[in-house]
């Protein structure tokens, strides 16, 4: 009789542990999926700015003026509201903005995305101190 009770306890413990592990894995996969969506959103804006840079519709200074004070946007994907912040600064060819020159032919665009998922707190793609950055060169020169 004791062996049957111990067997049932072992089975229940194994079953509960398995469900907890599966639940944790589901949350991890969901978070990663949301983070990848945030990266796709970031890439979308880099491509948009790249197209503005190459086209003749926007000058290099107009792109800078659009994003220099912080451009904010939101997008709702699968009931998750992604918030985006874009900032632009003149820089040198390596992306250093410590000594910006208004006549520079380079500007660095920093993008930060954050969202609140239904299973956790706020998740971020790029932070204030470590944004996702790309250096653009003036294509009209």
Q: For 111-133, write each residue's pLDDT tens digit.
A: 999 998 777 678 888 888 888 88
> For residue 110, is pLDDT > 80?
yes
Instruction: Note the pLDDT of residue 98.
Output: 77
Query: CA separation (Å) from 4 to 13, 17, 18, 127?
Result: 14, 20, 21, 55
Give Cβ neighbours of residue 89 (< 8 Å, ≥ 6 apart): 68, 97, 100, 107, 108, 110
Instruction: Note the pLDDT of residue 100.
Output: 67
The helix (H) or strand (E) run that includes residue 61 is helix 60-67
Instruction: Note the pLDDT of residue 82.
Output: 92
| Cβ-count burial 43-71 (b if 16+ within 10 Å, e if not) | eebbeebeebbeeeebebeebbeebeeeb
The proportion of the chain whose per-residue pLDDT surpasses 90, expressed as a percent, equals 19
Contact at 8 Å (CB) between 49 and 136? yes
The proportion of the chain whose per-residue pLDDT surpasses 70, expressed as a percent, equals 96
Instruction: Note the pLDDT of residue 43.
Output: 93
Contact at 8 Å (CB) between 107 and 88? yes
Contact at 8 Å (CB) between 119 and 31? yes
This prediction has a pTM of: 0.78
H/E/C letters for each residue in 114-139? EEECCCCCEEEECCCCCCEEEEEECC
CA angle 138, 140, 141 (to 5 degrees): 80
């Amino acid at each position: 009789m004791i062996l049957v009770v111990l067997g049932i306890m072992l089975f229940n413990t194994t079953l509960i542990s398995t469900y907890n592990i599966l639940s944790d894995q589901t949350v991890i996969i969901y978070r990663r999926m949301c983070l990848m969506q945030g990266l796709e959103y970031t890439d979308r804006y880099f491509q948009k700015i790249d197209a503005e840079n190459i086209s003749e519709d926007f000058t290099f200074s107009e792109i800078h003026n659009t994003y220099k004070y912080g451009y904010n946007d939101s997008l709702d994907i699968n009931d998750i509201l992604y918030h985006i912040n874009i900032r632009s600064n003149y820089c040198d060819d390596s992306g250093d903005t410590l000594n910006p020159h208004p006549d520079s032919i380079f500007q660095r665009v920093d993008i930060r995305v954050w969202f609140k998922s239904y299973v956790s707190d706020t998740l971020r793609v790029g932070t204030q101190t470590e944004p996702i950055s790309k250096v653009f060169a003036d294509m009209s020169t």
